[in-house]
Amino acid sequence: MILFYYLSSILGLLAGNMFNYTAIILSQSISDSDTFSGWVFFFVCFPLLFLSFTAGRLLDKYSRKWLLAAAQISMALGSGFAALSLHLGWISPGKPYLLLVSSVLSGIGLSFVMPGRFAILGDLLEHSKIGKHSVWLNTLVLFGYGLAPLVAGYFKEYFSFKYVFMSIGSAYVLSVFFLVLIPVQMRERNQTSSGPGISELIAYLKNSPLVSQFLLLMGAVVLLVGPVQVLLPKYVKEIMGLGESMRGALLSSLGIGLVIGGGVTFLLHGLKKKGHILFGSALFSCLLFSLIPFLAESLVLTVICFFVFGFMTGVIITLIPAGIQQNTENHIRGRILSLYSLVFLLVPAFSGILSGFFSDRIGIPPTFVWSGFLEMGVLIYLSWRMDQVRNHY
């Protein structure tokens, strides 16, 4: 049963990351503005502003399996709309804006998929196994993120954008097929409240300072994901001068680091003082990100830098959701994980727009340098203030 679920997860997660990557490189081919690429990524995450708490409440009240299936159909429709618009010429150079419609359709599904993928573990597994399997699932998230540029770049090398989006939609549908084969039993649900349960969520977070600090720390560490998503593909193509498949391969070195970092985290699961590992990894990854522009002349050094940056990031964004899962009760798990998804996706969406804005004015390399050092300053401050994460994780 769990193997079918993981197979469904990797297909859906790979498709989601392929959509984000393909939409961004398409936006960069039909628009000269890095800011517009930021808006494409932002519109994927924009529905979370309105749907996150509702999604969390529905995931705590109704079948997580069928909500997850419906969400992925919405994401498949987003890919299908992009393919149709490209076929009919609605999206083309000088006419980029309908791409935002596909982003929104994908984002509507994403509002349910990110928390749903993790929350459903509370129905599939005993509570004692959730922390370990959360690490495995998050490793699949990283695997999908890392593999997406390679797969999308390979398809784009031989096919047009239209067919890339069609393949993404097909992967979503296949993911839903495997999901519906899984019998899922609802456990420990509180169905007395008809609203989104925001007051209950706030009360729970007040009484769970460790979970609250985890969420705040996640918001800080994913600030750099915005410039990574929006600017890194263009940097590799225009600054380093690589072709489509080589661009995907180079970006996948970051993804391989993410996957290995997530996998290594499984070995750290039983260690004490994981909070120190979190802060140390985060600070080192910021320094590496700032160094990227200084390594542009050397492909080998850039690959090593991307890999190590990905490795450190993989450790960070695997330890945090595992800690949240371990310290969250099942009756409110959907809402907590919806809030986690809101932080995980919306913060990079805003930082992506900002990085595009500054890139249009000062260039990509200076934007990378400043982003890395500003992020480092934020993390130094948080490492001083977050006693719960530092002392109890």
In this predicted structure, what is the pLDDT of residue 193?
A: 47
Predicted local distance difference test score (pLDDT) of residue 273: 73
pLDDT given at position 268: 65
pTM over 0.75, yes/no: no
Query: Which one-letter DSSP state was computed for residue 239?
Result: I
Chain centre distance of CA 379: 20
pLDDT of the residue at 80: 96
Domains of the chain: 1-181 (1.20.1250.20), 200-392 (1.20.1250.20)
The confidence score (pLDDT) of residue 192 equals 45
**202-211 pLDDT, tens digit each:** 888 888 888 8
Predicted pLDDT of residue 72 = 93
Cα–Cα distance measured from residue 279 to residue 288, given in angstroms and rounded to the nearest whole number: 14
pLDDT number for residue 194: 44
Nearest to 139 by CA among 271, 393, 321: 321
Show the low-confidence residues of the chain (pLDDT under 50).
Answer: 192-196
What's the one-letter identity of residue 361?
Answer: R
Please give the backbone phi and psi of residue 95, each rounded to the nearest 5 degrees, phi first.
Answer: -130, 70
How far is the CA of 178 from the CAs of 110, 122, 134, 141, 145, in angstroms?
18, 19, 19, 17, 20
* 51 token code pair: 């749907």
What does the pLDDT look like over 43-67, one tens digit per residue?
988 888 888 778 877 887 888 889 9
**DSSP conformation class of 95:** B
Round the CA-based radius of gyration of the chain to a whole number and report it.
Answer: 20
